[in-house]
Structure formats: C-alpha cells, structure tokens
Amino acid sequence: MSFYQFTQYKKIIKTVIAQKKSQGDNVTNKELAQRIPIQATYLSKFFNDPLSHLKDETLFRLGKVLDLSPKECDFLILLKHYETSETPEHREFLFQKINDLCKQAQGDTLGEVDKIAFESMYLLNPKCMLVQMALNISLYRQNPRLLCQPLKLNINQLIEILDLLEKNEFIIRDEDPLQIKHVNIPKFHLKSDQLMRTHQYLLKSMIPSKLQEVAEEDKKSFLVTLNLDERAYEKCLERFSNFVEDLKEINKESKAEGVYQISFDLFKWC
C-alpha cells in the first residue's frame, strides 16, 4: 500500500494489520496490547469507538509494534491531531504539516496512488475548493491575489493551495506561481463517501464566521425544527431532491461571476 494515501489514522492501522494477517502473521488485539503494553479492552475500544483515541506515546509504540518507520509513526500522530483538533487555525496548521510530509515522502512523480493522496489533501482543506471555484471567474483567474482578503489567506497560503491544485491537475500555471493559464474540469480518482463527508463538515465549520461578515441584505438564513410523520418526511426528501435539480439547471444558465454557498441539512433528531 501507499502509506500516505490515507487521511484517517485508524484506517492506516487497520490496513497494516489486515496486510500482516494476509501474509500469515496472526496479529490479534490481545497480542498487540501485550506488546505495547496496554489493556486489551482499551485497545478494542480504540478500534471500535470513533471518539476513542490513543495517547501519542501509545500510538507511537503501536506503530513500532506494527513495524512502521519513525516517519510513518509521525504521520499517524499528525493525522490523529488533525482529526481531534477543535480550532480552524490549528487544523490549518496541521494540514500544512501533513501536506509537507506527503510531499517529502512522495516526491514529484505522481502515480495513481499519489494522485489519490493529493486529492485527499485537497478535500481536507475546504479553502482549496473555494479557490478552485473562484478561478472560474475571470477577475480572480487573472489576479488570484484578490482571493487573499475574502478567504483570509496570506500570499504563501494561496500559493500552497495553487500548488496543490496544480498537483491535482485542476489548473495549469505559467512560470509565475500566481499566473493561471487554464482551469481544468476536475476529475477525481478518489472514491470515498466518508472523506467527502469530512470535506463537507470542514466547509460547514467555516460558514458561521463568514456569515457574520456578510451584510443582512446579502444573505438568507433558514433553520427550522418541526414534527413530522414518516410520510411527511418522505415528501420533504422529495422536495429537497427537486430543489437540488432546480439549482443544477439555474447553475447551467448562469455566468461565473461569484462563489455562493447553499447549506441545508435534513435529518431526524429523535
């Protein structure tokens, strides 16, 4: 496997264990717990409970037991910190460290697995998608620096995002890193609903602060909690699907003059 294609550290561990078993190494939770050492019940909870995480030292020891290199153990710990971080600023800092580690590990030659890794990094930073969308607008395509203020990016962060877009073959640049020659239609190799949901969650986490900056006359907000029966819920789902199809038709007829956001969640509380 390509170690750096993964974006979830528990997935890496489970994949390594599965590979060892396929090679005839009968790795069990009990054996791993004894070698770390920690309680087997605690290790089992770690694997099965999404909210359960190992301490850095314990995670490092687990990596060594699984014959991971020091750099691979560092990557595990970085992904864990990213997954458990609670502030956008810290997540952005960790994202850059993860991205740098991926670049260092993979070099400049992009194979199929490498493309998947860079697509994963793209989805883990929702500002990449916002920059990509904005580059469809001639104003920003001709002068990407204009994106720094609305997206709260410094010039180095903008260039790093453009680097990642180019790695994913979403854009073509000139020798000047801020000169965009062409914006391509994105094609993804990655097939991961879970990672896409993570991307959507990260994007939604950015919305509240942006809404505070937008004038009341320039935004519409909607939130309602209501009682429904199953039949009414099905009707709401149908209306929601029809609304999405209407949006697609409106988008087809529209010129690219701005980047807009619509967010709507329909789910059951209890």
DSSP string of 186-252, one letter each residue: P------HHHHHHHHHHHHHHHHHHHHHS-GGG-----------HHHHHHHHHHHHHHHHHHHHHHH
Could you give the count of Cα atoms lying within 13 Å of 201 in the half-sphere of its Cβ?
Answer: 10
What is d(CA 118, CA 131) in angstroms, rounded to the nearest whole number? 16
Beta bridge partners of 181: none
Residues 5-41 pLDDT 10s? 777 899 999 999 998 888 888 889 999 999 999 999 9
Q: Is the pLDDT of residue 93 over 90?
A: no
Of the pLDDT bands very low, low, confident and very high (cuts 50, 70, 90), residue 58 is: very high
Distance from C-alpha of 14 to C-alpha of 62, rounded to nearest angstrom:
12
Choose among 35, 31, 99: nearest CA to 64: 35
Q: Is the pLDDT of residue 189 over 70?
A: no
Structure confidence by residue, pLDDT tens digits, 214-233: 999 999 888 889 899 999 99
State the chain's mean pLDDT as an integer: 87
Residue 108 predicted with pLDDT over 50 = no
182 beta partners: 172
Task: Check pLDDT > 80 for residue 109.
Answer: no
Q: Report the pLDDT value the prediction gives residue 175, as an integer from 0 to 100.
A: 82
In 3D space, the residue among 217, 115, 131 whose CA is nearest the CA of residue 167 turns out to be 115
> What average pLDDT score do residues 177-200 get?
80
With 0-12 / 13-18 / 19 or more C-beta atoms within 10 angstroms meaning exposed / middle / buried, residue 250 is exposed
DSSP character at residue 4: G
Contact 97, 25 (CB under 8 A): no
| Three-state DSSP state, 16 | helix
**What structural domains does the chain harbor?**
3-84 (1.10.260.40)
pLDDT for the residue numbered 163: 92
Phi, psi of 109 (to 5 degrees): -85, 120
Share of the chain above pLDDT 90, in %: 49
What is the C-alpha to C-alpha distance for residues 202 and 263, in angstroms, rounded to an integer?
13
Tokens of 105: 């590990």
DSSP letters, 87-151, are SHHHHHHHHHHHHHHHHHHH-S---HHHHHHHHHHHHT-HHHHHHHHHTTSHHHHH-GGGGHHHH
Name residues whose C-beta falls within 8 Å of residue 169's C-beta, 6 or more positions apart in sequence.
184, 187
CB atoms within 10 A of CB 56: 13
